[in-house]
Amino acid sequence: MEITVVEGDLTQQHVDAVVNAANRHLRGGGGVDGAIHRAGGPAVLEDCVRRFPHGLATGDAGWTTAGDLPARWVVHVVGPDHRAGETDRALLLSCYTRAVEVADEVGARTLAFPLVSAGVYGWPREDAAAAAVEALRSVAATTGVTEARLVAYDAAAAALLRDALGDAPGDAAGD
């Protein structure tokens, strides 16, 4: 799986699946979650309600339609809320690995990820970037996903992600 970094709008990525950093309820919200629900239109929320009436646990993932997004699916992950005391890094790593597992289930080969939990949930951004790369590299050889695109919303986040790719063991392509 190739791991790439791009700076841009997650909702405009032309990939098989866009990963949503969602809250436990999967009913839309702020940040990435709100942007995906707005851009995807009502079909995303309707599918969330139908498929996940009780939401998802922290660290878990599930898929819905992407509605009006250029992607085919949205893979929703529930990141840990660092500000609320959810500081178990394994939960953050699980968001990435579970997203790839769910992508495999639906046949998605290209994924676009935000930096999970690094916004309103307050996970330290440098560690969030390192965790994203670490988790994706850990599953690179065991998946049908060919590209995991880390989408940075600004230059600072893109630099953190590029640094994490360069500092992590293995090559920048992630094999």
Catalytic residues: 33
Cα distances (Å, whole numbers) of residue 91 to 78, 81, 98: 9, 10, 10
CA-based radius of gyration for the chain = 14
The rounded distance, in Å, linking the Cα atoms of 30 and 38 is 10
